[in-house]
Structure 1
Amino acid sequence: MAKKNKRVAHEAVSAPAAQATFPLWRRRFFPAVFFLLLSLIYFYEFPLSDQIIYGTDVGTDYHEGANLSVWEKIQTVSQPMWNPKMGGFPQSEEIRPQYFPTYPIYFFTVFQRYIGWRYILTMFFAGLGMYTYLRQVNIGHRAALWAGVAFMSAPTFLAFPMAGQYAKMGVIAVFPWMCLFLERGMERGRLIHLAGLGGMIGLGVYSHPPIMFYALLGLGVYFLFKAYQIYREKADVKRLAQRSGFFVFSVVLGLALGAEGAFPLFFYTRTESKRATGEEAGGKTAEQQLAYAQSWSLHPEEVASLVVPEFGGYDAPLEGRSNYWGRNPFKINSEYFGVLAVLLALMVLPEFRRRPQVAMWAGIFALALSYMLGQHTPIHWLAYHLLPGAKVQRTIAMGSFVFAFAGCVLAGLGLHRVLEADEEERAILRRRLLIVGGALTGFALLLALFPKAMTGGWIAALYSDITPKQQQILAASYNWIAKGGLYVALVAGAGTVLLYLRLQQKIAATALIAGLCLLTLFDTWRVDKVYLHYIDPDHYTDIREENPRAVEFLKGDPEHFRIFPLPSFKILDQPGYHLYGVPIITGFHDLTIGRYDRILQELEPVVQMLSAKYLQGAEVPYGDKELLAAIQPLLNLLNGKYLAVPKPLELALADYPLRFESERFRLYENTQVLPWFYLAPEAEIVKDGEQALERLRSGQVDPQRVVLLEEEPSLVLDGAGDPSRDRIEQLTYDLPAGLIRLRTHSDGPRILVVSENYHTNWSIFVDGEQAQMLRANYVWKAVAVPAGEHEIEFRYFSSTLAWSRAATFLSLLFVLGIVGRELRRRSVATAA
């Protein structure tokens, strides 16, 4: 009896000891640590150095925030109302990247270093999200671990750093978590999962609202499938109604949380931005808008590139290499998500009839890919006409992450089948593996051996309108394509061998996963590394300190004005050529007001010819005098007081005398420029905006003397008084706060014109009484002012911002209430 008790006691003590000897990869914390380490290794040059990760959209301000205190950085969370860039645009309606949870990192470093840490955390979050989602749908931890590696390393995701599109990556990383909470909510219907899904949607909105559109489409299809599954399998109408309400309320909650980052942008984009349709906004016709919405879509070549990324090619700007022979203007990304993911997804595809998860994700993959193909399928056309928000989207290929995620999920399902199959199932899977693996390896080998013949056959069948330039690029890329085909053949072949050995029970599951992870990282890294570039900011002067003499001269001018950089505004983005804080006429911004963008289109032919002449050494049929004369009236209208010309370029024009010369710039003055504020004694009503623009462009009217309006002013302009006696005094000019205060004096009624873009969020008050705001000279805002002395106040207020901010605050309180309730419930359960 004593021996028996001793044995029982020994077993009781040994149980925890046995548990403690579980392999490391079976520990609960292992996936999170693994994905974090992998993320740090991927960006290994960043964490322990002072380097930053180069990205074009992040800009060339490599020292942003270096001279700001923590408190000053905290103040950047507050959104300015109006931005003076390019005639001015409503910054209040812009995306709110400072609301994203990683933003506080910026308080303790420079902005570019913050972006680097955000890349690392984003990659980690993506891998862990995929793993957690697959575990939720009963995929084994090994298969889920590999699928996490496949998704987080996919070029579909990790080709964005070169473009500096960290915000898009944020949505892609959050998408698996959205799917996780949707799955849990549809299965369990608990409030905490409703809050989780809403919270993830809100996070995505504050990262990048346009790409969130595609995430919501993917979630919508996911929900419809789950709803159909509930109805078909359980015929439970009450449960279906509850879950439908759960999903709708979660989306509403998420959009409410992200309201401040979504709705101001959405409504502005539809009405007054350059993306808006209709002449009223200076935007596009319906036909132009459809073409715009289908721009930067995928094309058939990109579909083949899902197997071999080099097939359609991609550009490597920093290597000075272009191998993209497709139909878009250029390509600095890849939709590739790994040939092993394609292999495993195709292996499990035949089971779609008896495995609902396979059917759902295969359907999402097919729909998403069809949508991204734009004009090549009817799916996008239908969505464009039926779905709210589709008409203001562009660069639709950015939604490719939806089918990449679907492909990786299918691959995870396939790998799970390989690991868990019984003998009979393994025999079936071996046959599929040989067919699919052989086909993929064979295709890649044929491309490696015969790149010219393979691409030539493709062109004959699907791309007969290829341009001579693209044919030249293709011809120069044959060796590169062949090399890529060989890489894919090796990875696909090696992966096929490993999977086959496992299906014959000749290698352990852990060895298979380790091998597949290494192959996957090798496969994706060759593409990812092209778009990962580090620079040392210490090698670059702070842009605030570049060209100090030229900037001091320009800022010393007491008047408001803009400069016109020649030959192109892009020269001001080059190291050593920044003119920090000086407003310029030209440039690029997604939120440029439509009518201002329309004027820039009138300047573009001249800018292109000057760029061709001075940057490319091409011959143009006109001299500098003729080119500038063609746009002189518009330069005057847009307050282009100085031409900023980089050395060694030099102008010798009587209309533009040299006013200042520094080490890098010559500044020429436009002596005919219009003032920023002016009082026009006469007005002409031209209700058609394009006619008004044509009159201004041609110089048929002096806009300072005769202002062009599109509606009758509230006062009759009788021409009384001497215009030379008119005076305007600036009292307040605070554009970030949305406030302009002026004092005017005139002997007769006048039209006061302010050279800032007209926008409906502005209101005007004359001596404290609200007055009619007029659109003057096609783009500017104006008000009729009676004779005498008056105080004029321009106030900016966005009603959309006001109600969306209230919605965000209230929904945040609601979510915090749900989370607090859940924490209390768990506390009570633990105590019990």
Structure 2
Amino acid sequence: MKITFRKKVIQHLVAIAVFYLLTIFFFSPVFFDNKNINQQDILQWQGSVQEIKEFRATTGEEPLWTNSMFGGMPAYMIDVDWSNDIVEFLQSAYSLWLPHPVRLVFASMVSYYILLLAFGVTPYLAIVGAVGFAFSSYNMICLVAGHNARLGAIAFAPLILAGIHKAYDGKKRIGFALAALGLAMHLRINHLQITYYLLLIIIIYAIARLVVETQKGLLKPFLKHSFVLILAALLGLGTFFGEFWATYDYAKYTQRGRPELTAQKDAKPNADGLDKSYAFNHSNGIFEPIVMFIPNFYGGAMFGGFDTDGAAAVELQKMGVPRQQVAQQLNGLPAYWGNQPGTLPYYAGAIIIFLAVLGGIVLPGKQKYWMFVVIAFGIALTWGKNFSSFNYFLFDYFPGYNKFRSVTFALFMPLLCLPLLGMLGLQLGLEKSFDKQWMKGFYIALGATGGFALLAIVFAGMGGYASPNDAGLEQYPRLLQALRIDRVSLLRADALRSLLFIVAAGACVYFWAKRKLSAVWAPLLLVVVTSVDVISVSRRYLNDKNFTANPARQFFAPSEADQVILSDKDYYRVFNLNDPFNDAQTSYFHHSLGGYHAAKLRRYQDLIEYCLSGEANQLYSTVQAGSRDFSGLGVVNMLNTRYFKFGDNKGEVLRNSDANGPAWFVSNVYKVNSADEEIDVLCGTDTKSVAIIDATKFDVAATEYDDSGTIALQSYAPNKLVYKSSSSSEALAIFSEIYYPEGWVARIDGNEVPILRANYVLRALQVPAGDHEIVFTFEPVIYSVGNKVMLGSSFILLIVVVLVFGYQVRKMLFDQA
């Protein structure tokens, strides 16, 4: 019993220790220098959530709405505390309470280790695959970009697949628990694009399993196991129910939902989803997935990476650039020569690719074909517009696929399968005592991958190496030629690098097979060389330069301009003219017309494209002409824009005295019959006196009103606004608040009244004569109902985890082998 205990526990403890030490080593500035990864997207997110956090800290409640970005939007996709604290605790415990976000890399290793164990791989080999998977540059680039949610979703995906595999192998209890726990932790991260790719993987696996089980006459057990997994999925989904409902509900009104303008409808045969040009803007070239094997096959990063003694450096010195400035100039020159507007190479690892080819050769069909399909399908998805006949068809007709962009993220699919394929191939060799048939496959895999790397070295100079990013350098033809020479050198150097790692890994396997290395030392040496392989490439993109002490402090230091604006304590909005619709820094301090979010409300995006962009140009012209008359900016004014920010100095702030204010009465209603008419009429309309309303959707009593009354904001909170109004006759009030049909409730003197939509994006009310109190509150049923379901599901999940894993631990400690 003691021997069994040691075998089952000590190897796992070694694995956890390796994962823990690698995490600390790679992210040492976090642990030893009290630094954080400087993540631009996370900083932008912090700006977008500041109003939400302040309200939560002050009241202890969730606002569920924020006015800090794009005039106002639901907080569901920004920051909401749901009742899934149990799942959060399980995530933290699973990651041994390591700091966020570095714990996600540790969790990736643990999850993949469990996946390999579930597929029957021995613990020490499972360490190799786990390290290769977790330290792929794909994951590190997620951290550099601030895509923590993407990495978090990836980290728990292997756990789900492990549970599914165990359930189909007849281990229903552990399979149920792993699948439910993995799905709950995966979904809590809320990155549905990775969830979508994971679902495709699961479907492909399930179909392959169905074929195999049917051939064996085991259809009935297959259906039973599938039913168990459906229950696990329902439990996992239950812990995410409110968030999913909110995301689904919100998506209908965003850029991913159904368009209302005719031009947008005509561009989409299925009448919803993203624009193709936007969704496929980042698409791999047909040969670009080779970067999984040779990272600099296409030059590597967009800019820089050149040798200071290379051809471009020599040419710069000939052009008169001082030697001490050459390195700086090189960092601004384009290295990447593919056709994407911006990218970094997603490197899987030369060793992982070599072992995957080995697995693809030696494994029986029933084990490997589903992985072949996943790998091929994932790569085809990354080709995007470069394989338009396939990908446009999926985009138009595959359910839900048109909601996602950045199709290169689909490399997650092959990256999940490649280490699994490789480790299963090695495991087969171990089980067959590395017999002649297996060794034949080994030599073929070694020759194929090493041979490809060698061919890349020999024939590297035959490519064109011209880059779309070379535009602007045509006047320096010698420099362009030097750049292309250096791109050849980058490819050749990394091809040689891959060849050397393949030889090193091949030597480990060969000497293991020939009994020159033990079954302990051989896989541990593979861990070392695999770690060096993937980590050294990841270090190119995530290194000491990416760590700073409290990056938010500097990023959110209020400028002179911010301080001028903050001295005004009223309720208003700010229009930052410096890239306003990709900036949430302004939102940290102010209610902004702009922001930073991938899922803006569709109508607000229309407003930006059709009206706000034009008014921004008009604003510049007005200021340059020396005028301060902003009365012609009807849309800017209706959004209660009191300040224009042109820069950070106090002299670069202008006050807009023509803003309409928080609410106002209008004298005329212009009725239209479509969204097209509504947006066309809005741009250029005097919004102080005229309201534009779509009569096909909202009933308005009259077209003329008395606007002599008064209406004023009495108190403000993100989820509750209180106004006082006074008028001698019925009036139409327009509010500078974004109309959203799900959750907002309006009451006049305590009586609920319907909310109208005016001016394409704003709220409006018909207010009776007299003095009244008007209150808007955000009361989405999604949150109240969703929270109850999530809380109940989380408790059930906790009970399942304690019982099942408690039983497994007891069995491991006290039962015989």
Query: TM-score per shorter chain, which class?
Result: 0.7 to 0.9
Give the SS at the match of 1:347.
helix
Give the SS at the match of 2:30.
coil
Match of 2:124 among 142, 154, 161: 142
Counterpart residue number, 1:746: 727
Deviation at 1:391, TM superposition (A): 2.2
Deviation at 1:37, TM superposition (A): 1.0
Structure 1 range deviating more: 136-145 or 505-514: 505-514
Deviation at 1:61, TM superposition (A): 8.8
Alpha-carbon separation, structure 2, partners of 1:503 and 1:123? 32
Is the 2:334–2:469 Cα contact (8 Å) retained in structure 1?
no
Alpha-carbon separation, structure 2, partners of 1:571 and 1:749? 41
Match of 2:444 among 421, 432, 440: 432
Counterpart residue number, 2:369: 359
In the superposition, relative to structure 1, how do residues 150 and 810 fare at CA in structure 2: closer, same or farther (>3 Å)? same
Give the SS at the match of 2:797.
helix
Structure 1 range deviating more: 184-193 or 771-780: 184-193
In the superposition, relative to structure 1, how do residues 70 and 780 fare at CA in structure 2: closer, same or farther (>3 Å)? closer
Deviation at 1:78, TM superposition (A): 4.4
Deviation at 1:597, TM superposition (A): 1.3
Is the 1:63–1:537 Cα contact (8 Å) retained in structure 2?
no
Q: Which amino acid aligns with 1:428?
A: K
Q: Which amino acid aligns with 1:305?
A: V
Counterpart mapping for 1:96-245 below 5 A:
117-188=99-170, 190-210=172-192, 211-233=194-216, 235-245=217-227
Is the 2:361–2:445 Cα contact (8 Å) retained in structure 1?
no
Is the 2:561–2:645 Cα contact (8 Å) retained in structure 1?
no
Counterpart residue number, 2:312: none
Structure 1 range deviating more: 742-751 or 247-256: 247-256
In the superposition, relative to structure 1, how do residues 776 and 30 fare at CA in structure 2: closer, same or farther (>3 Å)? same
Counterpart mapping for 1:306-321 below 5 A:
306-315=292-301
Is the 2:295–2:345 Cα contact (8 Å) retained in structure 1?
yes
Structure 1 range deviating more: 815-824 or 625-634: 625-634
Alpha-carbon separation, structure 1, partners of 2:336 and 2:100? 29
Deviation at 1:55, TM superposition (A): 0.8
Where in structure 1 are there 5+ consecutive unaligned residues?
1-14, 108-113, 614-619, 648-660
Counterpart residue number, 2:644: 643
Counterpart mapping for 1:756-771 below 5 A:
756-761=737-742, 762-771=744-753
Deviation at 1:565, TM superposition (A): 1.9
Counterpart mapping for 1:84-483 below 5 A:
84-92=68-76, 94=78, 117-188=99-170, 190-210=172-192, 211-233=194-216, 235-269=217-251, 271-279=252-260, 285-286=267-268, 289-315=275-301, 322-331=334-343, 333-351=344-362, 354-375=364-385, 376=387, 379-420=390-431, 421-446=433-458, 450-455=459-464, 477-483=487-493
Deviation at 1:229, TM superposition (A): 2.0
Alpha-carbon separation, structure 2, partners of 1:687 and 1:239? 58
Alpha-carbon separation, structure 2, partners of 1:676 and 1:417? 70
Counterpart residue number, 2:694: 710
Q: Which amino acid aligns with 1:589?
A: H
In the superposition, relative to structure 1, how do residues 97 and 317 fare at CA in structure 2: closer, same or farther (>3 Å)? farther
Deviations 1:370-426 (A, max 9, x none): 233234165544543554322212222223222101011111122224444443234
Higher relative contact order (CA 8 A, sep 6+): 2
Given the alignment of the two structures, is residue 588 of structure 1 paired with residue 569 of structure 2, yes or no? no
Where in structure 2 are there 5+ consecutive unaligned residues?
305-330, 475-479
RMSD of Structure 2 on Structure 1 (CA): 4.2
Give the SS at the match of 2:73.
coil
Q: Which amino acid aligns with 1:784?
A: Q
Alpha-carbon separation, structure 1, partners of 2:549 and 2:303? 20
Match of 1:668 among 654, 658, 663: 654
Alpha-carbon separation, structure 2, partners of 1:337 and 1:632? 52
Counterpart residue number, 1:45: 29
In the superposition, relative to structure 1, how do residues 381 and 542 fare at CA in structure 2: closer, same or farther (>3 Å)? closer
Give the SS at the match of 2:337.
coil
Alpha-carbon separation, structure 2, partners of 1:555 and 1:764? 29
Match of 2:531 among 494, 498, 521: 521
Alpha-carbon separation, structure 1, partners of 2:427 and 2:61? 45
Counterpart mapping for 1:518-557 below 5 A:
518-532=528-542, 533-537=545-549, 541=553, 546-547=558-559, 550-557=561-568
Q: Which amino acid aligns with 1:717?
A: A
Give the SS at the match of 2:169.
helix
Alpha-carbon separation, structure 1, partners of 2:424 and 2:464? 33
Give the SS at the match of 2:652.
strand
Is the 2:675–2:760 Cα contact (8 Å) retained in structure 1?
yes
**Aligned residue pairs, count:** 764
Counterpart residue number, 1:681: 667
Deviation at 1:704, TM superposition (A): 1.5
Alpha-carbon separation, structure 2, partners of 1:498 and 1:827? 34
Alpha-carbon separation, structure 2, partners of 1:693 and 1:497? 68
Is the 2:242–2:783 Cα contact (8 Å) retained in structure 1?
yes
In the superposition, relative to structure 1, how do residues 158 and 607 fare at CA in structure 2: closer, same or farther (>3 Å)? farther
Give the SS at the match of 1:160.
helix
Deviation at 1:773, TM superposition (A): 1.6
Structure 1 range deviating more: 820-829 or 419-428: 820-829
Is the 1:310–1:481 Cα contact (8 Å) retained in structure 2?
yes
Deviation at 1:280, TM superposition (A): 6.3
Alpha-carbon separation, structure 2, partners of 1:767 and 1:570? 38
Is the 2:726–2:772 Cα contact (8 Å) retained in structure 1?
yes
Q: Which amino acid aligns with 2:399?
A: P
**What percent of counterpart residues are identical?**
17
Alpha-carbon separation, structure 2, partners of 1:783 and 1:323? 57
Alpha-carbon separation, structure 2, partners of 1:363 and 1:793? 56
Is the 1:564–1:586 Cα contact (8 Å) retained in structure 2?
yes
Deviation at 1:702, TM superposition (A): 1.4
